[in-house]
Amino acid sequence: MKMNWPNMAALALFAAAALTAGSASAADIKEVRFGVEASYTPFESKSPSGELQGFDIDVGNAVCAKLKARCVWVENSFDGLIPALEARKFNAINSDMTITDQRRQAIDFTDPIYTIPNQMIAKKGSGLQPTPASLKGKHVGVLQGTIQETYAKARWAPAGVDVVPYQTQDQIYADLVSGRLDASFQDAEAASKGFLKKPQGAGFEFAGPAVSDEKLLGAGVGYGVRKNDKALKDALNGALKELKADGTIDRLAAKYFDVNVVLK
């Protein structure tokens, strides 16, 4: 999924200074506080009754069960997840956040859990392609703070594409339907399950092939943790390894995805 943020240098300095701080042992982990932006179906969203649901939520709860720790979910805007992690509002980011070199300057990550292709959607028959030439003069919505925003601003905006950041994915879909946007760019599963297969997505389709760029779009999703929190990182990695080995993550993925997204 889903960073550009203006105080990057400050965060990097803060993270470097934090390396000298102490860290609790894995045995002391009784609670895992996950930061999440809950408007990105099928990874994280809310049920009609307000309960958190989705693949990341299910995997997070399974991780906590393996650790015999309590899961606490803290909602936050996606572009504010890394600053909030550094401010200790929670101790891990679990919100379809792709591991990139830029993000590694401020925080650390667990091993990759899964990977998802990135794809654009637009009205059927639009003929739009995810290229600067095709999108010149068009309005493309992206979730603020995401790798898709980073990519679109780096690769498309210089060619005259209007890249429009939004605080939630639901706002992007609403403006796409209303015609204020010509296209939106996000990961393919979120687009499929969160929009194209829903009534509001009628008349829209994937526009062009998946977009690949390992430098800007990363190569997998992991949990973000503070750089000095080795005990938590090791504990999360251990639990995730067990959940991959026993098939739990594969079974959970089959509930939500049309393709195999789990990294082995």
- Render pLDDT for 219-261 as a digit per residue (tens, 0 to 9): 799 999 999 999 999 999 999 999 999 999 999 999 998 766 7
Number of domains in the chain: 2
What CATH number should be reported for the domain holding residue 49?
3.40.190.10
β strands within 83-172, DSSP E: 92-93, 108-109, 118-123, 139-143, 162-166
Assess whether 16 and 100 both reside in one domain: yes
Residue 263 forms part of a structural domain: no
pTM, rounded to two decimals: 0.71
Using one digit for the tens of pLDDT, what is the confidence trace for 81-94?
999 999 999 999 99
* Residue 225 within a domain: yes
Q: Which range marks the domain in which residue 40 is found? A: 8-115+219-256
Q: Are 230 and 107 part of one and the same domain?
A: yes
